[in-house]
Amino acid sequence: MEVKDKIVIVTGAGSGIGAATAKHFAKYNATVIVSDIKKQKAQTVVEEITKEGGSAVAIEANVANFEDVEQLIAKTVDQFGRLDVIVNNAGIGPRNMAKTGEYTLEDWDSVIAVNQTGVFYCMKLALQQMMKQGGGNIVNIASLAGLKASLNNLSYSASKFAVVGMTKSAALEYATKNIRINAVCPGYTESALLEKLLSVRPDMDQMLKSVIPMKRYGQADEIAEAVVWLASDTTKFITGQTITLDGGTSL
């Protein structure tokens, strides 16, 4: 992976896919800004990276807060002089799974604020910095739920469809500016979101696996590998794409 010495921000990097992605970038000798709404979780990931000889710092940020994102980008540039890659991974699911007519306003507002508006904030400010420095790379974490219908999950599905659309629109806008923008769409992956779902509905475990041709969930490391690949100089002619990692579920 050609990401050596790149300055990389990963949001929501305190656990799950975000943590795995931060560790993978560090493994390939990038400098990683581990960002999370919970500073201690981010710091724990930093300690794991530095223990293995990698380079990382923790910056607390709530991506749903524009001022937090401004500070995240500013602190990164102040310390390292540039921003080569941002991985917009921070995301949440609804507290309650419900049909559209019964969906709560709280679940709509909170999920859209993080998963959609948060990605917009990060893209907007990262793009401004990347234009100043003459290039960069953005990888957004969407979802299979951003490509196919997802029952009783309106805000999450809407936000991830939006991420796919924002990825494609921005990629077209900045294709001549040495800025590439792509997305990955994980299927059912072992993560905090999946654990939360199965804790409420343990019976869904076998049902979910039954619709995955590979008959297993994805691993965070498998998603991270794809993210680092898209962010690397190996993929210089790829932009505006959504890479689906779902064990064949979309088939």
What residues act catalytically? Answer: 156
Amino acid at 143: S
The first and second tokens of residue 50, run together, are: 């530095």
Cα maximum dimension of the chain: 51
Tell me the C-alpha to C-alpha distance, in Å, between residue 159 and each of 79, 146, 204.
32, 7, 23
Q: HSE-up of 171 (CA within 13 Å, CB side)?
A: 21
Q: What angle do CA 95, 151, 219 make, to 5 degrees?
A: 75
Distance in angstroms (rounded) separating the CA atoms of residues 185 and 234: 20
Those residues with Cβ within 8 angstroms of residue 64's Cβ, 6 or more apart along the chain or in another chain: 113, 114, 117, 118, 121
Structure tokens that stand for 207 in this block: 């049902």
**C-alpha dihedral sign at 24, 214, 192, 115:** positive
